Amino acid sequence: MKKLNLLLVLVLVLTTVLAGCGNGSAPAEKPAAEQPKGEAPDAEPEKVLADDQTLIVGTDAEPAGIDPHKSTAFSSVRITNKLYESLVQTDENMNIVPSLAESWEIPDNTTYVFKLKEGVKFHNGREMKADDVKYSFERILNPDNACIAKSYFKTLSEINVKDEYTVEFKLSEPYAPFMSYLTSVYASIVPKEVVEENGDLMQVECGTGPFTLGEWVPDNQMTLVKNPEYHIEGLPKLDSVKLMVMTDESSRLAALRTGAVHLTTLGSQNLELVKNNEDIVIKSYQSKDYTYLGFNTTIEPFNDARVRQAMSLAVDRNEIAKIVFNGDAVVSGPVPPAFGKWALNVEKNEYFNQDIERAKELLKEAGYENGFEVEITVPSAYPEVVSTAQVLIQQFEKIGITATIKQLEIGQYVEAWKTLDHQVMAGKNGSGTDPDRALSFFFNTDGSANVWGFSDETFDGLVNEGKITVDTDERVSLYLDAQEKLFELSPNLFFNAPMKYYFVRSNVEGFNPNVFNSEDLRYIQIYK
């Protein structure tokens, strides 16, 4: 019986300790400053590289296959863009710069000639040559392969191998976004023999990228190993990267605090929790995702542009940024400020500034003086969108519109989005790497993602012209006009582009995410 008593005491101690941990203020608020075991910050110790150059990343989802042409989920893309490379890439200022192609010429507006870098090797040791480029694009264009980038290159009519290191692309008509689509990881160069041997590249890899695939334990971890023959000397600096699948955000935070992972993504609500922690630094960048409210423009009252304008004028976008994103977001149109000269300065646009009186007048003109009721459909999986809709309810009330929220699980949401089975819908979109994608894709009459029933001749004219105008300045001005027109017609109301955050251990250096390349791990080094 004594033993039983002892056991009872043990069990009670465990219970009390666990319960005590939840007492009082949230445990996460425990001052992080208590944890560091290192020297005082003013001592500035000399930095010594750690013996183990293995970066451990806490990732929120398991990659669903690693075929660069077929795997479209972000969880896959963040892997494939480390294993494979495309002909060209985008730098942080949205300029197109060399990658596998060292130079290129555009002799006329339907011909592009690329000179490949010599000596670039696939991970199986074979050199990458012009034939591989031809094969990769043929694979993308083959309808049997159902590759996502097929629609990017529908104007590509001929691929000619000029010599071992020169390849020529002929387009059926001028297509200005062509170069920016070439930067996509969906347009990676892959070796024919590996695809043929395995059927596809979902579970195997053979790219030219800085890392090769090591061990892969589904739903647990994936190891990427340094490619010793990478074509840029001295890179990557790491020996390997271990991606641990940790779907739970609080687990990722706890693991980062203890140093069990070096780098992870977390929502902005965690910023406060680590602000006093000297072991964790925050790397942020302005994202090109934006939140929006989209109208079903085929039904009353949203088929009247005045109603949509009135609702746009009722919104205080800075208030949404403050409440939903804690102020860490900018007001953004579909072409976000990160696009530089391509983005219209929305702060000066009349429809982006709250004007309740004018909104009421417009509603009156449209015959809705007493307002109306509206149901906003939101995806429950995106908390920032749900919160945005909640703020909108308050703001619409000021012009007499009574809004309610209908939350849908993501599969149902996509279904409603696709079939126009909604009145208005809040969501978030990404803008891609070209204004054509940001505008034409969502709002052109025949745009693949124009699920608003929206159609305007002037707008279509501008974006169609933009698609075939190769001169950059001329193109910029066309897209600025298109944005002006779009805001005037307001098929969508555009709100905020939030900041994105990486939480990184302070002994990790060389990681500088930017909007066009948020996860370049090549320059990272780990210090003791």
Partner 1 sequence: MRSYITRRLLLFIPVLIGISLAVFLLMHLIPGDAVDSLLGVEATDELREQLTKQFGLDLPWYEQYFNWISGVLKGDFGYSIRTGKAILPEILSRFKVTFELSILSSIISWIIAIPLGILAAVKRNTWADGLARVVALFWVSIPNFALVTLLLLFLSLQFNYYPALQYTAFFDNPVQNLKTLIFPALVLGAIMAGSVMRMTRSSMLEVLRQDFIRTIRAKGAKEKVVIFKHALKNSFSPIITIIGMQIGYLLGGTVITEQIFSLPGLGLFILTGINQRDYPVVQGSILFFALVFVIINLIVDILYACIDPRISYK
Residues near partner 1 (CB under 8 A): 1, 4-5, 7-8, 11-12, 14-15, 17-19, 21-22, 27-28, 30, 35, 37, 56, 62, 64-65, 72-73, 143-144, 146, 148, 150-151, 200, 202-203, 217-221, 242, 244-248, 250-251, 254-255, 257-261, 409-416, 418, 429, 448-449
Give the residue with the Cβ less far from partner 1, 51 or 219: 219
CB 519 within 8 A of CB 60: no
Distance CA 168, CA 147 (A): 21
H-state helical runs in 162-208: 178-182, 192-198
Q: Is 495 exposed, middle or buried (0-12, 13-18, 19+ CB in 10 A)?
A: buried
Cβ at position 221, least distance to partner 1 in Å? 6
Give the residue with the Cβ less far from partner 1, 11 or 106: 11
Cβ at position 238, least distance to partner 1 in Å? 18
Question: From residue 381, how far is each of 199, 267, 470 by CA, in Å?
Answer: 34, 14, 40
Give the residue with the Cβ less far from partner 1, 29 or 158: 29
Question: Whose CA is closest to 445, among 430, 457, 435, 434?
Answer: 457
Cβ at position 262, least distance to partner 1 in Å? 12
Query: Distance from CA of residue 361 to its chain's centroid?
Result: 39
Give the residue with the Cβ less far from partner 1, 16 or 95: 16
Cβ at position 115, least distance to partner 1 in Å? 30
Cβ at position 385, least distance to partner 1 in Å? 14
* 3-state secondary structure at position 7: helix
Give the residue with the Cβ less far from partner 1, 79 or 307: 79
Give the residue with the Cβ less far from partner 1, 273 or 320: 273
Question: Whose CA is closest to 53, among 270, 224, 267, 244?
Answer: 224
Amino acid at 511: F
Cβ at position 523, least distance to partner 1 in Å? 25
Q: What is the CA radius of gyration of the chain?
A: 26
Distance CA 23, CA 2 (A): 31
Cβ at position 332, least distance to partner 1 in Å? 18
Give the residue with the Cβ less far from partner 1, 159 or 243: 243
Give the residue with the Cβ less far from partner 1, 70 or 117: 70
Distance CA 55, CA 57 (A): 6
Question: Whose CA is closest to 482, among 527, 430, 522, 447?
Answer: 447
Cβ at position 259, least distance to partner 1 in Å? 8
Give the residue with the Cβ less far from partner 1, 1 or 234: 1
Give the residue with the Cβ less far from partner 1, 19 or 234: 19
CB 485 within 8 A of CB 458: yes
Residues present in the chain in total: 528
Give the residue with the Cβ less far from partner 1, 143 or 228: 143
CA angle 209–98–287, rounded 5-degree value: 75
DSSP secondary structure, 52-103, as one string: --EEEEEESS--S---TTT--SHHHHHHHHHH---SEEE-TTS-EEESSEEE
- Relative to beta strand 263-265, strand 496-505 is antiparallel
N-to-C CA span, the chain: 52
Cβ at position 239, least distance to partner 1 in Å? 17
Cβ at position 1, least distance to partner 1 in Å? 8
Cβ at position 514, least distance to partner 1 in Å? 22
